Structures are given as C-alpha cells and as structure tokens.
C-alpha cells in the first residue's frame, strides 16, 4: 500500500523498546496520529532533529486508514523549532507548553485545518521573536474558540441580549458572560481592556497582536486556565512547570 504523505507538526515522542520511538504528530491530512519511528533512538538515526517537538515535517505514514499506530517512513524536516527554542528558557518552555496544549486538544484521526494553520502561525511567531506570553494567550484563546469553548464576547450566555460595552462578567452555570439582568455572576470578571485585547487576538495574526498589559495578561491567563481545566478535566503538566520556574526566578 502506498504511504500517506502529510505535512505535520511533531507534538511529542516517547520511547518504544530499545531503539525506537512512538511519535505523536499533528498532521494536516489526518489530525493527530501516532507513528512508530524505527531506529529513531540510534545514534545514526535518519530522523535526527526532525522529531523534536513542534518541528514541521513532511511525513510518510504507512498503515491502513483508522489504524491506531502508523509506521513512520520518510520524515523530511521542513522547519525546525530548534532556533525558536534556542532563543532562551522562556521560549523553550513555551514551545513545550504549546505542544502539550495542541496535543491535549487534538482528536486522533480528525483533521482540523484551522488548528493546523493556527499552530504553524504561532510557531513562526515564536521564531520571529513575538512575546511568548502573548502567544500563549493567543493559542489558548483560539484553540478554545475553534473547539466551540470560548464564550461570546458580544451576547449574554443566558438571555442572548447584546452585552453592553465595558467589563465582562463570567457566570459559571451559564458557561459564558452574562448581562447585568442575568447576574449576579459567579466570576471571574474581565476588564474592558482585557476584552479589547481579546478582540485583537480574534482579529489579528499572532505576530501582529503584541503583548498585553500585565493586568490583562494575568486575568486572561487565569480565565483560560479555568476554561481549559474544565474541558480537559486536568491541568497541563508544562503549565505547572512554567509556574514553578516563574516562582523560583522571582
Ligand atoms: Zn442576559
């Protein structure tokens, strides 16, 4: 059977036996897939840095459609995330967070072209030197939105009336922002400027959005973490690492 050829981003890999790895790929054609990379742990592996997280590759996959584990054939490196990761610790940790976030949201075998293009744009923006904190909020917001999990910024989640300009009040049991009549809300609230920053996120390319102010950044970080935790029913590992490191550095 001829292989499936697909552009893909490497999400992660883990050991298989003495010499091989299983690689988790976000492919453009098939969504998230797992593939065995035979001999990938050998010193003369033909894959080399092509299997680093968030490397963009062109992969040949062998296996029937719907298989749980493909075999990886050729894996040509299109763009290495190494240069972005080499910018510094913040960038390296952000990349591992982004990979984990994409992995957690992606469904196996379900192609999501918008998610794929989002991921590529964010990795490129890291390489171009955009603020990784801003890119984290960007990727979170868009992943949530593309999966139908981001509440409307314009309509009350309870009565659907237009939300007035100004601050936003989140109400847990309504799964969204509510108007004053439908309150009191459970919180958290988002300031008018955080709302404005979200509009930029949802209206611009990741490299164009620019960093948020400290208050907006902190409130969006906490808000997104809650939405993600509710969806995944867990915290992401690299997010905990990021927080621990931030504490130690302070
Ligand atoms: Zn309402």
> What is the distance in A from the centroid of ligand 1 to the CA of 180?
7
> What is the distance in A from the centroid of ligand 1 to the CA of 74?
55
Measured distance CA(121)–CA(141) in Å, rounded: 14
> What is the distance in A from the centroid of ligand 1 to the CA of 182?
4
Cα three-residue angle 151-31-225, rounded to 5 degrees:
35
Torsion of CA 45, 238, 137, 115, to 10 degrees: 40
For 208-223, letters b (16+ CB in 10 Å) and e give: ebeebeeebbebbbeb
> What is the distance in A from the centroid of ligand 1 to the CA of 174?
10
For residue 115, count other CB atoms closer than 10 A to its CB: 24
% residues pLDDT > 70 (the chain) = 96
- Tokens representing 190? 């988002």
Q: Give the phi and the psi of residue 109 in degrees, each rounded to 5.
A: 70, 15
> Does the pLDDT of residue 180 top 90, yes or no?
yes
> What is the distance in A from the centroid of ligand 1 to the CA of 228?
24
Q: Give the pLDDT confidence score for residue 183 in this predicted structure.
A: 87
- Tokens representing 148? 């139908």
- The arithmetic mean of pLDDT across residues 139-166, rounded, is 96
Measured distance CA(220)–CA(226) in Å, rounded: 10
Q: Give the pLDDT confidence score for residue 101 in this predicted structure.
A: 96
Least confident range of 16-30, 96-110, 227-241: 227-241
- Tokens representing 224? 């997104």
> What is the distance in A from the centroid of ligand 1 to the CA of 190?
17
> What is the distance in A from the centroid of ligand 1 to the CA of 227?
20
Q: For residues 248 and 164, is the Cβ–Cβ distance under 8 A?
A: no
- The arithmetic mean of pLDDT across residues 159-167, rounded, is 96
> What is the distance in A from the centroid of ligand 1 to the CA of 152?
12
> What is the distance in A from the centroid of ligand 1 to the CA of 160?
6
Q: Give the pLDDT confidence score for residue 246 in this predicted structure.
A: 66
> What is the distance in A from the centroid of ligand 1 to the CA of 183?
8
3 state SS of 46: coil
Looking at every residue in the chain, the average pLDDT score rounds to: 91
Q: Give the pLDDT confidence score for residue 250 in this predicted structure.
A: 53
> Does the pLDDT of residue 139 top 80, yes or no?
yes
Task: Give 66-90 pLDDT, tens digit per residue.
Answer: 778 999 999 999 988 777 667 788 8
Q: Give the phi and the psi of residue 10 in degrees, each rounded to 5.
A: -75, 125
């Amino acid at each position: 059977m001829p292989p499936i050829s697909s552009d893909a981003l490497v999400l992660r890999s883990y050991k298989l036996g003495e010499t091989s790895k299983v690689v988790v790929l976000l492919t453009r054609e098939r969504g998230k897939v797992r593939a065995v990379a035979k001999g990938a742990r050998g010193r003369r592996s033909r894959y080399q840095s092509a299997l680093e997280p968030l490397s963009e590759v062109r992969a040949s996959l062998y296996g029937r459609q719907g298989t749980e584990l493909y075999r990886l054939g050729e894996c040509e490196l299109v763009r290495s995330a190494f240069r972005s990761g080499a910018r510094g610790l913040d960038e390296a940790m952000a990349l591992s967070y982004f990979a984990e976030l994409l992995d957690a949201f992606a469904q196996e075998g379900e192609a999501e072209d918008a998610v794929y293009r989002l991921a590529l744009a964010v990795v490129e923006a890291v390489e171009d030197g955009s603020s990784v904190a801003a890119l984290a909020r960007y990727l979170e917001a868009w992943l949530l939105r593309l999966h139908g999990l981001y509440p409307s910024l314009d309509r009350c989640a309870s009565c659907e009336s237009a939300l007035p300009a100004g601050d936003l009040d989140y109400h847990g049991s309504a799964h969204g922002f509510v108007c004053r009549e439908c309150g009191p809300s459970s919180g958290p609230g988002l300031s008018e400027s955080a709302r404005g920053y979200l509009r930029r996120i949802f209206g611009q390319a990741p490299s164009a959005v620019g960093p948020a102010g400290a208050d907006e950044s902190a409130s969006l970080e906490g808000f997104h973490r809650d939405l993600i935790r509710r969806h995944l029913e867990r915290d992401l590992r690299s997010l905990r690492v990021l927080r621990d490191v931030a504490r130690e550095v302070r």
